[in-house]
Structure 1
Amino acid sequence: MMMTVVLVENKRVKTLKNLMKPLKNQAKTPVKRLVKTLKTQAKTLKNLPKTLMSQVKTVKDRVKTLINLMKHLLKRRVKNQRSNQWRQRRLNSMKTKKVMIKVMTGWKQMTVIMIKAEIMMIKILKVTVTKIMKKNRRWLKMKQL
């Protein structure tokens, strides 16, 4: 199930579930606005006060929350499409890839669904991506700047 991480927005403590409520209506909006909302989410994560840092400990947790947010938004975007065939093709094209994320302890593997929007999310998180082709698989190494 979805993990709840405490985020701070406008000096009020909100959970991820509550943060998603205003985003529900934005399913039909273009990608630009979607990215804009994600940028605010990333800023929120960056400016967490030290007292709440225990909730969002590592980069891994931050990435997880944003990935969950992206999945939620993309599911809604897919649901709102007219053509069922298009929806099926879109869902089939979402391939699971392994992503290496550098955390304080070292490199840790995370299996995530890599989609265009999630690549945007990586850019928002300000991490450099190194692509390595290995046995027809793409291994992404995400290094924190």
Structure 2
Amino acid sequence: MASTVSLTEQIRSETTPERALEAVFDLTQTERRSYAAIVDADRPVTAPRLAAAIDCAETSAYRHLSALDECGLVQRATADFEGTGRSAYVATPPDEVADRMADRVEETYEECRETIDACRPAFAGESTDRSA
């Protein structure tokens, strides 16, 4: 039988920035490593440079950059980095990341609230079929 972790337990266990990024943005371990490499970089990062930094295939690095960009954790700095024709990325400023995290948590809270409200009739023993 699979064990279930309560929402409270999950929130309490997310005490590191890395775990919070994973929980809020649903990042994989490699995406978190990619983000850390970009944060630590002294200049914009291209997919080939990221691939070398985290020891992955270049095609994987492109996917990681795309996922991080979609979450708003990185921003494209240029579409033609050093004349290579490649996009290069920088980390989004920490305050903006924190704001995005807060927005994402608020959105999730609202979704949970709507689900709870939709369940109220069932909790009260009423039918949830509203087509009647």
- TM-score of the alignment, normalized to the shorter chain, above 0.5: no
Q: Which has the larger radius of gyration?
A: 2
- Higher strand share goes to which structure? 1
- Higher helix share goes to which structure? 2
Q: TM-score, normalised by structure 2?
A: 0.30
